[in-house]
Amino acid sequence: MASKGKRHLSSRELFEKFMSDEQFEVFGCVVDGQTVSYISILSYTNKDDTRAVGPMYVSDSARGCGVGKYQVQELITHMGQRGVTTLYTKTWSGNYGSRAIFDALDFMVINTIKGDRVNGDDTIEYERIGK
């Protein structure tokens, strides 16, 4: 539930926020001049080889087409070329699309925080250690 007087940012507003924040790097897919997906990455520790992934967004029109998985695969490759070997992310238990992507791309569940989301969902933390 949003606090009184506050509203949730739209996907476009979030995208613009991350694009203007120097802490984040944002990667996206554009189809016919429209951004259909984006993923952000953030250095959240003092380790040069570790990054946090998220948030990730795929538009309704692009869901189920493999765009999200492709986007994460490309991010893994790009970060690996830069010497990043560990990726960390988290999602909620009801986000089946993200969970399927992370599971398919060898992210391991490292922690589950039961019922901590507003809707009662669990937070699931993932880590991927590359080569």
What is the tens place of the pLDDT at every residue in 29-62? 888 888 888 888 988 777 889 999 988 888 888 8
Torsion of CA 57, 58, 60, 66, to 10 degrees: -150
Q: What is the pLDDT of residue 42?
A: 87
* Structure confidence by residue, pLDDT tens digits, 57-106: 888 888 888 999 999 999 999 999 999 999 999 999 999 999 999 999 99
Instruction: Let me know the angle formed at the C-alpha of 33 by 96 and 82, rounded to the nearest 5 degrees.
Output: 65
* Whether the predicted pLDDT of 20 surpasses 90: no
Three-state helix/strand/coil letters over 33-52: CEEEEEEEEECCCCCCCEEE
Kindly report the length of the chain.
131
Give pTM, 2 decimals: 0.79
Q: What is the pLDDT of residue 96?
A: 93
Q: What is the pLDDT of residue 23?
A: 73
Domain range annotation of the chain: 11-129
Architecture of the domain spanning 11-129: 3-Layer(aba) Sandwich (3.40)
- Phi first, then psi: give them for residue 19, nearest 5 degrees: -65, -30
